[in-house]
Structure formats: structure tokens, C-alpha cells
Structure 1
Amino acid sequence: MKEDNNHPKKIDELLAESKSISLQLQQLNEHKLIKAYNSIPQLLWFHLLKGVAFGLGSVLGATVVLSALVYVLAQFEFIPYIGEWVSAIIDVVKTPTTD
């Protein structure tokens, strides 16, 4: 029967890889995001802040896009049919709403 001389080397390599994986898992468990997901209050706070940031970004983005669109449409008033339509849109936008 042939004896395998590489057997101890393979075991040493596997042990080294196992220790490396264990160290990486320990580092991952110490990450702030993982700690936040392990704590319900921190997770709720994180999601609340994320939702506020998303809502604020959406409102600001829509404001910028609509302002640019109204400005561009206001430049088309000299075209006969489009100008009347744009003027009507601008009047609706500028008219304050009453509740």
C-alpha cells in the first residue's frame, strides 16, 4: 500500500483555512451593520432614518424635476397650440389650492 506523504500538509492547510474563516467571521460579527441588525431598537432607528432620508430625497428630487419641467414648458409659449396648453398648465401650477 502506498503511503501519502501529503496528508499532514493537507491537514495543516485545512486548519489554516479554518482559522482564517473563523477570524473573518469574528470580524464580520463586529461590524456596525451586523450589530444593528442584531438589536431591535437599533434596527428600528436605522430603518426610520432610512425612510426619512428616502422621503426627503424623493420630495426634493420631484421639486427639482417639476421646476425644470415648468421652466422648459414656459419657454414654449410662442408656439400657437402648445403655448396655450403650457399657459393653462402654468396657471394651474401657480393657482393656490384651498382646503
Structure 2
Amino acid sequence: MLNDDNVNALFNKIIEKMEELSVRIEKLNLTEYLELYRNPSRLLYLNFLAGVARGFGMAIGFTLLGALVIYVLQKMVILKLPVIGDFIADIIKIVQNELSTK
């Protein structure tokens, strides 16, 4: 049977678990998530901003990567590597021919 000491110990365990659960919920930012879920226009706005930021980041990254590749290719042409230099020179000629015909 349950006596007063067992009941007090059980209540203390329950209170301890509830406090632990409360801390975990606070760490999850569950309230902020629920507010977003209740306000779809804010959720759409934040997702739009995140998409714009991702797109801008991809554009900047692609530009920098492309510039780096072109820089490396130019250096390879200057070094006059036999196989790679001829290949790159052919590509440059093709591009220049295409640009001059338009």
C-alpha cells in the first residue's frame, strides 16, 4: 500500500520529470514553432526570405567558382601544356567563332 512517504516520493519524481520535460520543450523552441504554424503568412514570408537568400548565395557561389575555373584555365594556357593547352585553345577558338558569327 501507499503510505505518506511513498506518495511524497512519487510526487517528487513526477515534479522532477515535469521540470525536465519543461526544459526540453523550451530547448526545442516549440512555442515559436507553434506560433509560426498558427500564422501561415509569417511562415510564407520567412520561407520566401530563406529562398531568396539561398538563391543569392548560389548565384554568388557559382560566379566565384566560374571565375576560379576560368582563371585556372587561363593559367594552363599560359603554361602551354601540350594536351590541355591545345584543348583549351580549341575551345577558345570555337567560342570566338560563335561570337563573331552572331
What TM-score do the two structures reach when normalised by structure 1?
A: 0.68
Structure 1 residues 15-94: aligned runs within 5 Å: 15-19=15-19, 21-22=21-22, 25=25, 28-31=29-32, 33-77=33-77, 78-90=80-92, 92=95
More helix per residue: 2
What is the aligned-residue RMSD (CA, Å)? 3.2
Deviation, 1:38, is: 2.6
Structure 2 segments unaligned to the other structure (5+ residues) = none
Q: Residues of 1 paired with 2:90 and 2:56: CA distance?
A: 29
* TM superposition shift of 1:35: 2.1
1:8 maps to a residue whose letter is N
Percentage of identical aligned residues? 26
| TM-score between both structures, scaled by the size of structure 2 | 0.67
The answer to which structure, 1 or 2, has the higher relative contact order (CA under 8 A, 6+ apart) is 1
**How many residues were matched structurally?**
94
